[in-house]
Amino acid sequence: MGLIQFYNVTKLYPPDVVALENITLKIDKGEFVFLVGPSGAGKTTLVRLLFREELPTKGQILVGGRSITRLKGREIALLRRTIGMVFQDFKLIPDWTVFENVAFALRVIEVPPREIKPRVERVLDQVGLLSRAHLFPHQLSGGEQQRVAIARAIVNRPRILVADEPTGNLDPDTSRKIMALLQEINAMGTTVIMATHAWDIVNSMKKRVIALRAGRLVRDDREGVYGYEA
């Protein structure tokens, strides 16, 4: 049984945008999946459906075998605790330190206060930023800021990590480091889904590639490479 299943999922935005059309796919526990396609292909829309930020216009989405389209209130919050999110623009709070930015994710899901410090320190160590815990985001490089965002996304140990163009703002060298970190997180058992249109990264990783174009699923390759026409 797949950890994530989409059945004939269609997402329309009024008046006439077909953001996703009839998408069926399955992602298993522990997989590393690239979601590729040109800008406007529907990658972000797919992520937002998975995250229950949007509801599909048609079709079913299951996470861990449970339909997420009928969740409400607290159940949505609980679903989101099982999915860590990372964005292109990091979304760190500028006037909080690295430590506070990561701790926030635990505080707001009401983790007991005495557990917070050790957990934040452990995850900052994991992303290699423990020595920078007291700095503010603007004192860090872009790659470091993205690692803070990743630390925040995984600090509550989600089963799934979703990164929407996480290297979009980073130079190639820094991107490689971020990819190494994501691979490491995946190796520890977390399912990783990364939306990107950076074909060089995709090609170097030899992972599963799901390609979208104009809202349609056009390719799903194990150990795929990414080319617009392939």
Partner 1 sequence: MRRNLWMSLAAAASVAVTMFLLGVFLLLVFNLNYMASQLQSNVEIAAFLHVDTPREVVQHLEAQIKHLPGVREVVLVPKEEGFRKISRQFGGEEELLSATGGVNPLPDYLLVRVNTPEEIRDIAGAIAQLPGVEKVNYGQEVVERLFALVRWLRWLGAGLILLLASGAVVLIMLTIRLTVYSRRQEISIMKYVGATDSFIRWPFFLEGLFLGLVGSGLAAGAVYGIYTWLLSRSFNLFLFLPLLNDPALLLKSLLGLIGAGAGVGALGSLLSIRQFLKV
Ligand X SMILES: Nc1ncnc2c1ncn2[C@@H]1O[C@H](COP(=O)(O)OP(=O)(O)O)[C@@H](O)[C@H]1O
Site for partner 1 in 23-62 (CB under 8 A): 51
Site for ligand X in 31-60 (CB under 6 A): 37, 39-45
Q: Which region, judged by CB under 8 A, interacts with partner 1, from 30-38, 85-93, 113-121, 140-148?
A: 85-93
Q: Provide, rounded to whole angstroms, the least separation between the CB of residue 127 and ligand X.
A: 25
Of 103 and 202, which CB lies nearer to partner 1 in the complex structure? 103
Q: Provide, rounded to whole angstroms, the least separation between the CB of residue 110 and partner 1.
A: 7
Q: Provide, rounded to whole angstroms, the least separation between the CB of residue 85 and partner 1.
A: 5
Residue 109 binds which of Mg ion, partner 1, ligand X, none (CB < 5-8 A, kind-dependent): partner 1
State yes or no: residue 13 binds ligand X (CB under 6 A). yes
As a three-state string, the secondary structure of the chain is CCCEEEEEEEEEECCCEEEEEEEEEEECCCCEEEEECCCCCCHHHHHHHHCCCCCCCEEEEEECCEECCCCCCHHHHHHHHCEEEEECCCCCCCCCCHHHHHHHHHHCCCCCHHHHHHHHHHHHHHCCCHHHCCCCHHHCCHHHHHHHHHHHHHCCCCCEEEEECCCCCCCHHHHHHHHHHHHHHHHCCCEEEEEECCHHHHHHHCCEEEEEECCEEEEEECCCCCCCCC
State yes or no: residue 110 binds partner 1 (CB under 8 A). yes
Q: Provide, rounded to whole angstroms, the least separation between the CB of residue 167 and partner 1.
A: 19
Binding residues (CB under 5 A) for Mg ion: these are 44
Binding residues (CB under 8 A) for partner 1: these are 51, 73-74, 77-82, 84-85, 91, 93, 104-105, 108-110, 152-153, 156
